[in-house]
A and B are shown apart, each in its own frame.
Chain A
Amino acid sequence: MTNEPINLTIDNIKVTAKQDTTILEVAKQYGINIPTLCELEGLSSYSGCRLCLVEIRGSTKLFAACTTPVTSGMEITTNSDKLKEYRKITLSLLLSERTHICSVCVANGNCELQDLSNELGVDHVPFEREWTNHTLDSGHNFLVIDRNRCILCTRCIRVCQETEGAHTLDLKNRGKDAQITIDFDALWKNSSSCTSCRKCAKVCPTGAIYVDDDFISKTKDKNIANFLLKRRQL
């Protein structure tokens, strides 16, 4: 029973999937684009950004495509008017949460938050914007973290823990005060666990973590986690 393929529809397209795959994985296989920010192939799913929410017929709830497994007969809608509207609100909330000014950001032109905002048509932010004054740590030889540009997707935490195995990065505080922290709230240069592998900078979707001595377009490498995962499985 476990190997039987599952038949379902995504946006009225009939698709077939293996058991234990998520809606997002199936959609990708069929070239159906569902926007994501916290999700990254090769890392565990986090389901935090809530951009990949989709509708499933028969339920009034919304489901995160990155973590919801497909079941037989599912009828999934990924781009209803409501979902489009909600994705714009989500992006607006992220843009208003901390200090996001594209023109003075190292990631300008190489930012997933910026790209998605353009793609999904966020042309203004209807909320009061916060101009945060969170700590910036540039004491490391080449790695910089500017928490004012962080969207708390936790890709850096997961790549550090799951791929590199260092677990240097983690979360501290909660709610709007949640921050990426290094070791037990150390300065980066004093970290005893950081291997300076740069993976956090490679996967950061914005300009929150970057390598100071390089062009950001060269630093970023979204595929690093998946690449290493696949190599290790060989």
Chain B
Amino acid sequence: MRLADIQKIAEIEVDFQRAYKYRINVCCSSGCIPLGAINLLKTFQDLVTEHGVIENCLVARTGCVGTCSVGPVVVVEPGDYIYEKVTPEKARKIVIDHIILGLPVKKLLFENKTFIEKQHRLVLRNAGKIDPYRIEDYIASGGYSALVKCLTKLSPQEVIDEIAASGLRGRGGAGFPTAKKWSFVSRAHGSPKYIIANLDEGDPGVFANRTLAEADPHALIEGLLIAGYAIGAEKAFIYTRAEYPLAIDTLKKAINKASELNIIGKNVLGTSLNFDIEIRLGAGAFVAGEETAIIASVEGRRAMPRPRPPYPATAGLWGKPTVIQNVETLANIPLILQNGGAWFSKIGSPNCAGTKCFSITGKINNPGLIEVPMGITLREVIFDIGGGIPENRSLKAVLVGGPSGGCLPDILLDLPIDYESLKTAGAIMGSGGIVAIDDQSCLIDTAKFFIDFCVAESCGKCTPCRVGLVKIKEIFKKIMQGEGKIEDINLLSKLSTFITETSLCGLGQTAPNPVLTTLRYFKQEYVEHLVDRSCKADKCFKENKGVNIN
């Protein structure tokens, strides 16, 4: 296949889709499949055949719409009618009323306008809209046109300049400017050069990257291809975890299809670019998301971080210059090349362009996956999009940034979400986990929960993280059993700062964040536990009541 053929495929597919008046998108992502989405897809296919509207209505399997709490979710186009908790009986009603009679079934619709309106879906532009198994669907929606543009009109340096103009920063958590990383590697001596796509999402309650790979694998592939062209790499690895079977399967199918069409492989689309993509699976350790640990794991060694320098940009995979990029960053790349860096830089906040995906979970009415412009406030995310706290309870704290994020109090709800302001407040962007904590929760218990996670996930290499976190856990255990002393506050604070400053990698450096932020914003709760031996949420001091605290 050659460059011009992409345009032809797009035209044929657009004509094919235009023939249908309606399109029923059945979400078949990891969230909806356990709720019966695959059966539902078949039901819809049978129903349109049965009612003779198969000529009129296309039934497609898609990725995640984002409203994961009300699955299985079905979207009817045109008009983006989102139907929630669809059963085979409801499916029949939807086909008869909506498709045949043209009357949307109001009472079955997902009624939360702000959930959709407040979002800005760039990375998730195709999630829930296209069939991830069909490359034609992606191409018809403008896919691979950015690649064609790069290969025909732009030099590698111009691609990097465009990314620089966009102000895109790494979405993996640290927020390093993407263009800067690319120019380091493009200028670095040594060959071959490599790209690693980081799809190793280890945080509990975070599923943005998985959803992206399941819903729009070709966006990731196109991002990798453009990155490869820009920095002069011919080989990319997608590093993911064995726990993501659907994402792996979707990616494999997408890679095979792209190879078939010569979008990847030797002489991509008849040009001089050679590019290969390989999937590497990790066994699912949290630390394996750290960039030097990924390198070790891809090389076949134990996923343990190593000190930097040397940075992966100069000596990464097998000692060669390597770009390691989160998949969310990569999915932004085609859009920036399509619409220009200047367009992208206007989205989001001034020092932080673009959008960010967040997995919102915890005590919230609409848990799910959202994408919002940078600079949006936590209040908008929790109350407007998330729909507030269930059962008329009030919000006590928000944990931002996954298990090593920070617990922020409600007075900080108007904090704009971007890398810098979160850091100042004691939280991190991390992988984009937001957990709402209501007034029925004990923050000592919550902080201990996340410390437990990091204790279990520490690789064991450096002393502060391996041993220090265990000591913090023990202090929490004592506090929760009613054996804590008021001095423990100082010890916790000292030990947490020590671990933050002395640990080797990001895991240890951020693991004490939940402790540090609860000490900073909720000290009173520690004092209540230590002096009054009282836990307002009634989670602690249960040792005597026969409950064992581990």
List the interface of chain A (C-beta within 8 A of B): 45-50, 53, 61-62, 64, 67-69, 86, 89-90, 93-94, 96-97, 126-128, 130, 151-152, 170-171, 173-178
Contacts and interface: CB of A to CB of B under 8 A. Distances in A.
A48 B501 CA distance: 14
Contacts of A177: 460
B546 interface: no
Contacts of A67: 307
A68 B468 contact: no
Nearest to B502: A50
A50 B457 CA distance: 19
A89 B501 CA distance: 12
B53 interface: no
Interface string B483-508: 00000000100010010011110000
Contacts of A175: 455-460, 466, 469-470
Given A46-B461, A64-B504, A67-B307, 9 more contacts: A49-B462, A49-B463, A64-B307, A86-B498, A94-B467, A174-B457, A175-B457, A175-B460, A176-B470
Given A86-B498, A86-B502, A93 B457 contact: no
B320 interface: no
A174 B307 contact: no
Nearest to A173: B460
Residue in A67, A69, A97, A176 whose Cβ sees the most chain B Cβ within 10 Å: A176
B78 interface: no
A49 B463 CA distance: 5
Interface in B467-481: 467-471, 474
Contacts of B495: 89
A69 B464 CA distance: 22
Nearest to A64: B307
Residue in B306, B460, B464 whose Cβ sees the most chain A Cβ within 10 Å: B460
A114 to B, nearest CB: 16
B79 interface: no
B8 interface: no
A56 B276 CA distance: 42
A112 B440 CA distance: 50
B300 interface: no
Given A68-B309, A86-B498, A178 B460 contact: yes
Interface in B88-112: none
Interface in B213-255: none
Nearest to B495: A89
A47 B310 CA distance: 13
Contact of B501 (A46, A62, A151): A62
Nearest to B509: A61
20 contacts: A45-B307, A47-B306, A50-B462, A50-B463, A50-B502, A50-B504, A53-B502, A62-B501, A62-B502, A64-B307, A69-B309, A89-B498, A93-B471, A94-B463, A152-B461, A171-B460, A174-B458, A175-B455, A176-B455, A176-B466
A93 B471 CA distance: 8
A93 B285 contact: no
Contacts of A62: 501-502
B230 to A, nearest CB: 28
Contacts of A128: 471, 474
A173 B460 CA distance: 8
B189 interface: no
Contact of B466 (A68, A89, A152): A152
Nearest to B308: A67
A94 B495 CA distance: 14
B302 interface: yes
A25 B493 CA distance: 34
B463 A90 contact: yes
Contacts of A151: 463
Contacts of A130: 470
Contacts of A97: 466-467, 470
A89 B464 CA distance: 9
B463 A48 contact: yes
Given A62-B502, A176-B455, A90 B309 contact: no
Interface string B435-468: 0000000000000000000011111111110111
Nearest to B498: A89
A48 B464 CA distance: 9
A50 B471 contact: no
A67 B495 CA distance: 24
Interface in B495-550: 495, 498, 501-504
Residue in A48, A152, A173, A175 whose Cβ sees the most chain B Cβ within 10 Å: A175
B468 A93 contact: yes
Contact of B462 (A48, A170, A174): A48
B463 A171 contact: no
Nearest to B461: A48
B252 to A, nearest CB: 28
Contacts of B470: 97, 130, 175-176
B501 A86 contact: yes
Nearest to B303: A174
Nearest to A178: B460
A174 B471 contact: no
Nearest to A91: B463
Contact of A127 (B285, B471, B504): B471
Contacts of A53: 502
